[in-house]
Amino acid sequence: MILRPFSLGLDRFADTTYFFSQRLGLDVVVPAPIADVESLLLVGNGTPDNYVLCILAHHLDGRKIVGFAKHEELRHLAVLNDIRTYVEASEKLVNLLLLVDRESCQLDALTEDILRRLRESGVSYGEVRDEGHIKEVILLKDEHEVRLVVVISDMGGKDIIKHSIEEHLLLVAEDILGTDYIINMIRRAGGDAKRAWNSLGKEKQHRVFRYLIAQPDAAERAFPQHLEALRKLDN
62-94, pLDDT tens digit by residue?
789 999 999 999 999 999 999 999 999 999 999
How open is the CA angle 112-41-54, to the nearest 5 degrees?
Answer: 125
- Under a CB-based contact definition with an 8 Å cutoff, are residues 158 and 171 in contact? no
Q: What pLDDT score was predicted for residue 10?
A: 75
* Number of alpha helices (DSSP H) and beta strands (DSSP E) in the chain: 10, 7
Residue 233 corresponds to which amino acid? L
100: left (phi over 0), alpha (psi -120 to 50) or beta: beta
Output the CA torsion sign for 6, 12, 18, 24.
negative
pTM of this prediction exceeds 0.75: yes
178-222, pLDDT tens digit by residue?
999 999 999 999 999 999 999 999 999 999 999 999 999 999 999
- Paired strand residues for 101: 153
59 pLDDT higher than 70: yes
Q: Which domains does the chain have, with CATH numbers?
A: 2-155+223-233 (3.40.50)
Q: What pLDDT score was predicted for residue 173?
A: 98
Average pLDDT over residues 86-109: 95
d(CA 39, CA 41): 7
Secondary structure of residue 146 in the 3-state scheme: strand
Strands (E), the chain: 2-5, 39-43, 65-69, 95-101, 125-130, 134-141, 144-153
Q: What pLDDT score was predicted for residue 234?
A: 65
Q: What pLDDT score was predicted for residue 11?
A: 85
125-130 β-sheet, strand order = 2-5, 65-69, 39-43, 95-101, 144-153, 134-141, 125-130
Residue 158: which pLDDT band, with cuts at 50, 70 and 90? confident
113-149, pLDDT tens digit by residue?
999 999 999 999 999 999 999 999 999 988 889 999 9
- Paired strand residues for 153: 101
Q: What pLDDT score was predicted for residue 235?
A: 62
58 pLDDT higher than 80: yes
26-43, pLDDT tens digit by residue?
999 999 999 899 999 999
d(CA 29, CA 3): 5
Exposed/middle/buried for 30, CB within 10 Å: 0-12, 13-18, 19+? middle
Q: What pLDDT score was predicted for residue 8?
A: 85
